[in-house]
Amino acid sequence: MSDTVLIACPHCHTLNRMPATRLDDAGQCGKCKQALFNGQALHLTGTNFASHAERSSLPLLVDFWAAWCGPCRSMAPAFASAAAKLEPRVRLGKVNTEEEPGLAARFGIRSIPTLVLLHEGQEIARHSGAIGSEDICHWTLANLGRHAS
């Protein structure tokens, strides 16, 4: 990461500039004054997706899921736990493929759950199938490490 990072607010989706060395300090949004990190996965939609996936400097791990999907429901607590562990280094978000078919089509989602790791709008890695919290964290950090080299 560079000396300064752009962070999209999880509440109002406004971009905030922050020194990379202060990510662990949490910080608050300059517009809505709420915390920039809350340890929870975002509900991503066609409206807010670009702010977090393309404009923010933080890597974004997206869980493409659907309410009717048993493996998706069983992985949801693990994904929530991973969000608390990976922030502030990585933002986590969920895309309901039933509500956002355009995003699912854009990323060629053929099976769910599918995790897609993005950085500055570019796909770094993808994993299909339910996995546990520790596996989500390990897979994410391993792929970010490969991307940095």
- Does residue 137 carry a catalytic annotation? no
What is the C-alpha to C-alpha distance for residues 97 and 64, in angstroms, rounded to an integer?
6
Catalytic pick from 9, 29, 72, 137?
A: 72
Active-site residue among 9, 29, 69, 137?
69
9 labelled catalytic: no
- Active-site residues, by number, are 69, 72
